[in-house]
């Protein structure tokens, strides 16, 4: 990687890796974002016909928060031109708001008849969603409006697109009392007057923020449209993403992915790594006894691909996968980074209403069965991310690191 744009003449499509798999038409809603952009490149690299829909809301929120990606992300037009220059692959781009502009979405689906629609078009930060009434309302209206528009448009168009949605492990909450969290559905027993009924239900939700709440409400939308109209849906309940680059985004600096380190959008491990890079004590919320599920961004894009390539059958209920590979206590992560870097830990009061400590055991065999080979947290990958953090440390605004959204 170089800081000046450069053409990688040696790029070769990894398409053959799919062993002659069908080339699909894929629309990515929110394809300019942190997961959306690397997913778009990953799928385009594998010869799928990719179109991005994005209203650039994440960049606009940067403006609102007076924050920005640590890495120098380029405008979407430049990104797409660089990708074509490097690979001769064309990614279409449509700038509109999925939650507001139903007719544009309907027309796109009806005209392009995509095999799969990846739905990242949601506000995705818990702290942002809790900043004020405005942010609660924006998150609810945007996220549910986008999901409902997508499902209604699929039904109205009559196009049998497979919806691949990014959910969150946060729908389950962190109170499983020693039980392993299943993939979406929970077998239960109900007893009354000696009668016993066995049922399998959507796992009862316990969201910790308005953002997480919207994903629990999305689940009900998916279940409804699936039952009524047999819309095919894969809902991927993702853990906290760490890392920033993938094989494709590393090809050229013009393709570089976002790296958020601010108190609203920075995910915990990435925040620690930036803090370590600039010698800022690692801010740990509360005791750090919170256990959370994690996944590397390279596995994220691979999981999206796996879900797309093995779609559910028509009539199959909503397929729910837990898209995570490891669990860690936050204190253990902080201590590991602290040991690696010598930067101390700073315990700060937890800005969130959540349990101070919890166990977490999660079922995740479905994506592994489809072929995911998990990238585990290890020193060399951490070093790679630290190197990026160091390289762009001059872009870091230290005042943006603390979480100022309290709830």
Beta carbon nearer to its own copies, 11 or 407: 407
Of 94, 128, 211, 225, which is the active-site residue?
A: 211
Contact by Cβ (8 Å): 120, 28: yes
- Inter-axis angle of helices 268-278 and 330-341, to 10 degrees? 20
Q: Is 172 a catalytic residue?
A: no
Least CB distance to its own copies at residue 206 (A): 8
Rounded to an integer, what is the distance from CA 192 to the centroid of its chain? 41
Longest dimension (CA), the chain: 74
Contact by Cβ (8 Å): 302, 42: yes
The beta-strand segments (E) located in 265-390 are: 282-285, 291-296, 319-323, 326-329, 345-348
Least CB distance to its own copies at residue 8 (A): 44
Q: Is 215 a catalytic residue?
A: yes
Give bridge partners of residue 52 from the DSSP assignment: 28, 93
Beta carbon nearer to its own copies, 2 or 197: 197
Contact by Cβ (8 Å): 243, 273: no
Least CB distance to its own copies at residue 207 (A): 6
- The neighbour count for residue 349, using CB atoms within 10 Å, is 8
DSSP helix/strand/coil, 242: strand
Least CB distance to its own copies at residue 304 (A): 26
The beta-strand segments (E) located in 10-77 are: 25-29, 49-53
Least CB distance to its own copies at residue 223 (A): 9
Q: How far apart are CA 155 and CA 214, in angstroms?
A: 21
- φ/ψ of 284, rounded to 5, equals -105, 125
Least CB distance to its own copies at residue 381 (A): 33
Contact by Cβ (8 Å): 308, 164: yes
Beta carbon nearer to its own copies, 188 or 365: 188
CA neighbours within 13 Å on the CB side: how many for 223? 12
CB-based burial label for 302 (10 Å; 0-12, 13-18, 19+): buried
Residues that bind its own copies (CB under 8 A): 102, 106, 132-133, 136-137, 140-141, 144-145, 148-149, 152-153, 155-156, 177-180, 186-192, 195, 197, 199, 201-202, 204-205, 207, 210, 213, 216-217, 220-221, 224, 228, 353, 407
Contact by Cβ (8 Å): 385, 256: no
Beta carbon nearer to its own copies, 19 or 192: 192
Q: Is 168 a catalytic residue?
A: yes
Positive or negative torsion for Cα 372, 226, 58, 399? negative
Beta carbon nearer to its own copies, 8 or 101: 101
Of 215, 225, 244, 392, which is the active-site residue?
A: 215
Beta carbon nearer to its own copies, 12 or 195: 195
Of 71, 147, 168, 267, which is the active-site residue?
A: 168
Contact by Cβ (8 Å): 330, 290: yes
- The neighbour count for residue 369, using CB atoms within 10 Å, is 11
Query: Closest Cα to residue 53, out of 107, 95, 83, 109?
Result: 95
Beta carbon nearer to its own copies, 8 or 205: 205
Beta carbon nearer to its own copies, 76 or 144: 144
Tokens 């998150």 correspond to 139
Catalytic residues: 168, 211, 215
């Amino acid at each position: 990687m170089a800081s000046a744009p450069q053409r990688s003449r040696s790029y070769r499509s990894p398409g053959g890796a799919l062993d002659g798999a069908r080339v699909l038409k894929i629309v990515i809603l929110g394809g300019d974002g942190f997961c959306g952009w690397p997913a778009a490149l990953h799928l385009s690299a594998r010869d799928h016909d990719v179109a991005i829909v994005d209203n650039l809301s994440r960049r606009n929120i940067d403006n609102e928060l007076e924050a920005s990606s640590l890495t120098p992300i380029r405008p979407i037009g430049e990104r797409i031109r660089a990708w074509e220059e490097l690979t001769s692959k064309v990614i279409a781009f449509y700038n509109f708001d999925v939650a507001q502009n139903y007719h544009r979405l309907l027309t796109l689906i009806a005209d392009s008849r995509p095999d799969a629609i990846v739905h990242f078009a949601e506000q995705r930060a818990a702290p942002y969603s809790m900043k004020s009434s405005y942010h609660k309302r924006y998150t609810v209206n945007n996220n549910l409006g986008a999901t409902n528009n997508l499902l209604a448009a699929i039904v109205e168009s009559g196009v049998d697109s497979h919806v691949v949605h990014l959910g969150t492990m946060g729908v389950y909450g962190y109170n499983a009392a020693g039980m392993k969290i299943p993939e979406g559905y929970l077998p239960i027993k109900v007893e009354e007057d000696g009668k016993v009924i066995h049922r399998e239900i959507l796992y009862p939700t316990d969201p910790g923020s308005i953002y997480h709440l919207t994903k629990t409400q999305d689940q009900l939308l998916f279940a409804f449209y699936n039952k009524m109209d047999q819309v095919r849906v894969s809902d991927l309940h993702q853990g906290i993403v760490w890392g920033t680059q993938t094989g494709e985004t590393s090809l050229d600096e013009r393709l570089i992915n976002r790296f958020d380190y601010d108190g609203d959008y920075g995910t915990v491990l990435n925040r620690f790594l930036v803090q370590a890079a600039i010698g800022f004590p690692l801010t740990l919320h509360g005791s750090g006894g919170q256990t959370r599920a994690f996944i590397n961004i390279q596995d994220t894009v691979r999981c999206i691909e796996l879900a797309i390539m093995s779609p559910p059958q028509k009539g199959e209920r909503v397929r729910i996968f837990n898209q995570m590979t490891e669990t860690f206590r936050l204190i253990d992560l902080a201590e590991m980074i602290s040991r690696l870097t010598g930067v101390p830990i700073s315990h700060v009061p937890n800005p969130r209403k959540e349990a101070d400590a919890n166990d977490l055991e999660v079922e995740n065999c479905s994506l592994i069965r489809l072929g995911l080979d998990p990238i585990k947290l290890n020193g060399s990958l951490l070093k790679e991310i630290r190197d990026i953090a160091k390289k762009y440390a001059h872009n870091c605004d230290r005042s943006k690191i603390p979480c100022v959204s309290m709830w």
